[in-house]
Amino acid sequence: MMAMQMMSQELGDNTSELAGRELEAAVLNKAATLLEEVVGKWQEDADHALLDNALKYNQTLWSVFQAELLNGDNPLPMALRENILTLSSFVDRRSFEVQAYPAPEKLDILIRINRSLAEGLMTH
């Protein structure tokens, strides 16, 4: 959880006062927003600096999830942990693909995954 709080503080937003699922949802939504900004400014971002920053943030977030899910003390059911780890593997592959072959439409699935997971965290 400490890594999540550091990520939210790094962005200078008000998520540093959140905890648990609310914090995870807020950071997922922030990652989705960064990716959406990249799509919206694609033509202006010729050197892909915005893209690189957004992907780095998203990958860091998913790396934190992976570490937490692999922790033996994680209270989530094993099947759910495995499903989220499979999803995180997809996120990693797509992120590397976008870095290698940038295209704004490739970000849509990453945005939808983050938003959907955040929504699920807030409804449960």
pLDDT in tens, 74-106: 898 999 999 999 999 999 999 999 999 999 999
> Residues of the chain with pLDDT > 90: what percent?
75
Question: What sign for the dihedral angle of Cα 14, 18, 24, 26?
Answer: negative
Q: Is the pLDDT of residue 68 over 60?
A: yes
CA angle 110, 58, 107 (to 5 degrees): 30
Q: To the nearest 10°, report the CA torsion of 65, 67, 9, 35.
A: -40
Neighbours of 18 (CB within 10 A): 17
Cα 31 off chain centre by:
5
For the chain, the domains span 2-123
User: Mean pLDDT across the stretch 18-45?
Assistant: 92
Name the CATH architecture for the domain at 2-123: Up-down Bundle (1.20)
Share the mean pLDDT of the chain.
88
End-to-end CA distance of the chain: 18
